[in-house]
Amino acid sequence: MVFSSITFLFYFLPIVLGVYYIVPKKCKNIVLLIASFAFYFFGEPTYVLLMAFSIIITYIFGLLIDKYQKTEKAKIFLALACIISIGLLVYFKYANFIIENINLWLKHKVDFINVVLPIGISFYTFQMLSYLVDVYKGNAKVQKNILKLAMYVSLFPQLIAGPIVRYTTIQDQIENRTHTMEKFALGVRRFIIGLSKKVLIANVLGELVTTFLASNEMSVLYYWLYAISAMLQIYFDFSGYSDMAIGLGKMFGFEFLENFNYPYIAKSITDFWRRWHISLSSWFRDYVYIPLGGNRTTKIKWLRNIMIVWLLTGLWHGAAWNFIIWGLYFGILLIIEKLFLGKYLEKLPKIFSHLYVLILVMISFIIFNGESTSMILQNIGGLVGLGNVPLILPESVYYLKSYFIVIVIGMIGATPILKNIATSKKVEKIANVLEPIFLVCLLVICTSYIVDGSFNPFLYFRF
- Digit-coded pLDDT (tens) for 408-424: 999 999 999 988 888 77
**Nearest-angstrom CA–CA distance, 85 and 121:** 10
Kindly state whether residues 195 and 144 are assigned to the same domain: no
**Nearest-angstrom CA–CA distance, 306 and 276:** 17
| Cα 393 to chain centroid, rounded | 35
Kindly state whether residues 141 and 19 are assigned to the same domain: yes
Is 69 contained in some domain? yes
Pick the last residue of a domain from 176, 208, 233: 176
Range of the domain at 192: 183-267+346-462
Residue 454 has pLDDT above 70, yes or no: no
Comparison of pLDDT for 371 and 86, the residue scoring more: 86
Kindly state whether residues 231 and 102 are assigned to the same domain: no
Assign 110 to helix, strand or coil. coil
Kindly state whether residues 168 and 189 are assigned to the same domain: no
**Nearest-angstrom CA–CA distance, 375 and 271:** 29
Residue 456 has pLDDT above 60, yes or no: no
Is 337 contained in some domain? no
**How do residues 146-176 score in pLDDT, each as one tens digit?**
999 999 999 999 888 879 999 999 999 998 8
Quote the pLDDT of residue 232. Answer: 97
If you average pLDDT over every residue of the chain, what do you get?
A: 92
Kindly state whether residues 58 and 202 are assigned to the same domain: no
Q: How many domains does the chain have?
A: 2
Active-site residue 317, yes or no? Answer: yes
Is 188 contained in some domain? yes
Quote the pLDDT of residue 390. Answer: 93
DSSP string spanning 377-425?
HHHHHGGGTTTT--S--HHHHHHHHHHHHHHHHHHHHTSSHHHHHHHSH
Quote the pLDDT of residue 45. Answer: 85
Kindly state whether residues 48 and 155 are assigned to the same domain: yes
Could you tell me if residue 330 is left (phi over 0), alpha (psi between -120 and 50 degrees) or otherwise beta? Answer: alpha
Local confidence band at 463 (pLDDT 50, 70, 90 cut-offs): low
**Given the residues 179, 277, 317, 354, the one annotated as active site:** 317
